[in-house]
Amino acid sequence: MRRLAACAASSAALALAVAACGGSSSGGGSDNGISSKSPDQIVSAVTSAVNGVNSVHVAGSVSNSGARTTLDLNLVNGKGGKGSMSQSGLGFKIVAVGNQVYINGSNAFWQKFGGSAAAQLLSGKWLKAPATGQLSSIASLTNVRTLFNQLLSSHGTLAKGSTSTVNGQKVIAVTDKTNGGTLYVATTGKPYPVELIKTGSDGGKITFDQFNQSVTLSPPANSIDISKLQ
C-alpha cells in the first residue's frame, strides 16, 4: 500500500507540475482593463482574482516524457473537490473533503500501483487516506489556492501578446518566454485564466471554467481506511 500511495501521488504531482502549461475560464461584462497592464501585473491580477473564487472546474490533459495525464475536477475553495484523473490510460476517481481524500481506481490502476492483492481488495471500492499523509500530492490537486499558486508562480520571463477570443471569451495572451506556454486571461468581468497552453511533446492544455458555480461534496460511503492496510 505504501508503493501504491507513492506511485499514485507521483502521478498527481506530475500532472500538477506539468499543468503549469495550461488553463480556461469564462467571464462576461465590461472591459476590466487587464489588457493595458504589464505581463507581470496581469499574472498578479489573475492570482488575486482566483484566490477569491468559491469554486472552479479544471479539465484538460498534459504530457511528460510520453506519459499522458488527464484531469477533470470540480474544486471548492476551502473544502476540497471531486472528479477524475488518469495517467497513460490508468484512471481513478477522487473526492477530497476536509482533511480526507478518497481514491477509487480502475482494476488496471490498482494492479499497476498496488499489485494483485490491492486490485482484488479495492476493486470497485474507495480508499480513504489523510489529505496530509501519503496521498498529499493528490489531495493538493483539489485545493483551489494551492493549484492556482502552482500554475501561476511556475514561470520565467513573461511577454504580453495580443487580444483574441478563446471559447467565446475575450482574452489577452501572456507568454512565458523562458519555459514556453501561453496564458489567456479574460478581459471582461474578473481577470480569470481562460486558457494556458504549451505546445510540443511535453505540452498540453488545461481549461478553467464554471467559476463560482454550486458544487456539492460528500465522503463516499463504505470506504477502506488506508491505515488499516499498513
**Ordered structural domains, the chain, with CATH:** 2-220 (2.50.20.20)
Axis-axis angle for helices 2-18, 144-153 (nearest 10): 50
Would you tell me how many other CB atoms lie within 10 Å of the CB of residue 40?
Answer: 13
Contacts of 216 (CB under 8 A, 6+ apart): none
What are the angstrom distances between the C-alpha of 143 and each of 49, 57, 152, 157, 211? Answer: 15, 12, 14, 26, 14
Distance CA 82, CA 217 (A): 7
pLDDT, tens digit, 9 for 90 and up, residues 58-89: 999 888 777 788 889 999 999 999 999 887 78
Phi first, then psi: what are they for 101, rounded to 5°?
A: -125, 140
Distance CA 19, CA 58 (A): 11
Banded model confidence at residue 113, pLDDT cuts 50, 70, 90: confident
pLDDT at 4 over 60: no
Name the 3-class secondary structure at 207. strand
Distance CA 139, CA 73 (A): 12
Q: What is the pTM of this model?
A: 0.82
Count Cα atoms within 13 angstroms, Cβ side, for 31.
7
The β-bridge relationship of strands 224-225 and 127-130 is: parallel
Banded model confidence at residue 54, pLDDT cuts 50, 70, 90: very high
C-alpha cell at 138: 493528490
Tell me what pLDDT residue 15 has: 43
pLDDT, tens digit, 9 for 90 and up, residues 130-168: 988 777 877 888 888 888 887 787 788 999 999 999 989
pLDDT at 3 over 50: no
Our CA dihedral for 10, 113, 89, 55, rounded to 10 degrees, sits at: -50
Residues 19, 132 contacting (CB under 8 angstroms): no
Closest CA to 26 of 220, 137, 184: 184
pLDDT at 8 over 60: no
